[in-house]
């Protein structure tokens, strides 16, 4: 029963496809009802979640700004009865040499990857505190929470910030029985990495660095997400777990 999420409500941002889809599906498989947050409808996720006998709610929101954050909480509570789990998955990346990087590309990435993560977590934590039954906040970090990378200054800064915020929020929210952790995915086979996967040189270089010798998949994040969303992780907080096939240990 440690990993049972029956009766729980999970809010997952950026859940329409890729890693967010996999995580939302995994939480539903463990028993949670799902509120998928994003700017467009999510028929495939809705079908997957409801086929498991769980409830699904699409909450329309453009997370590049923080305007809809109160509504995300309000709509989820009204229609699903509360919030027990938040997964901050939505994010973007912009690539350019440091010397050429624009202020717009900096602001766009920091806004959704860091500012929205903080203020949505704040709003959900307030709701969890009011409910009085604790909760779980999980953010999607990155290997670049640990490493510098190249040509992604705002992304690296945002994901380093996610790791720091995870520690801070874990410290401050522990007294309310709210655990805050993060998952740092490795190289995942998603739309965002399609060009890399199709580049025989770069793909070979990447695989040579991964001890598991394969790209990760959204399904690979399900176990970590379920663990961090369940009572199995009640004494784990402020930590970032790498799910990277061994990339960081190489």
Tell me which residues are annotated as active site.
155
Confirm if 138 and 225 have CB atoms less than 8 A apart.
yes
Dihedral sign from CA coordinates of 44, 240, 148, 210: negative
Token code pair at residue 214: 């394969």
CA dist 67 and 225 (Å) reads: 27
Contact between 12 and 32 under an 8 Å Cβ cutoff? The reply is: no
Q: Quick one: which of 126, 89, 106, 68 has its CA closest to 225?
A: 89
């Amino acid at each position: 029963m440690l990993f049972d999420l029956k009766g729980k409500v999970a809010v997952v941002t950026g859940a329409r496809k890729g890693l967010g889809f996999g995580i939302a599906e995994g939480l539903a498989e463990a028993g949670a009802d799902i509120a998928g947050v994003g700017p467009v409808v999510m028929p495939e996720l809705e079908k997957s979640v409801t086929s498991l006998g769980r409830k699904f709610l699409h909450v329309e929101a453009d997370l590049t700004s923080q305007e809809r954050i109160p509504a995300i909480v309000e709509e989820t509570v009204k229609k699903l009865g509360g919030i027990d789990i938040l997964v901050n998955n939505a994010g973007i990346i912009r690539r350019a040499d440091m010397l050429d990087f624009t202020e717009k590309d900096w602001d766009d990435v920091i806004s959704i990857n860091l500012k929205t993560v903080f203020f949505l977590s704040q709003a959900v934590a307030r709701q969890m505190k009011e409910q009085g039954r604790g909760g779980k906040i999980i953010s999607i970090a990155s290997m670049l929470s640990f490493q510098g990378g190249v040509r992604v200054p705002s992304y690296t800064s945002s994901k380093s910030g996610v790791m720091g915020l995870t520690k801070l929020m874990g410290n401050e929210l522990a007294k309310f029985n709210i655990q805050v952790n993060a998952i740092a995915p490795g190289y995942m086979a998603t739309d965002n990495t399609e060009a890399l996967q199709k580049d025989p040189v770069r793909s070979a270089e990447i695989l040579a660095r991964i001890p598991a010798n394969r790209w990760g998949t959204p399904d690979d994040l399900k176990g970590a997400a379920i663990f961090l969303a369940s009572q199995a992780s009640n004494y784990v907080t402020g930590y970032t777990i790498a799910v990277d096939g061994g990339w960081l240990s190489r």
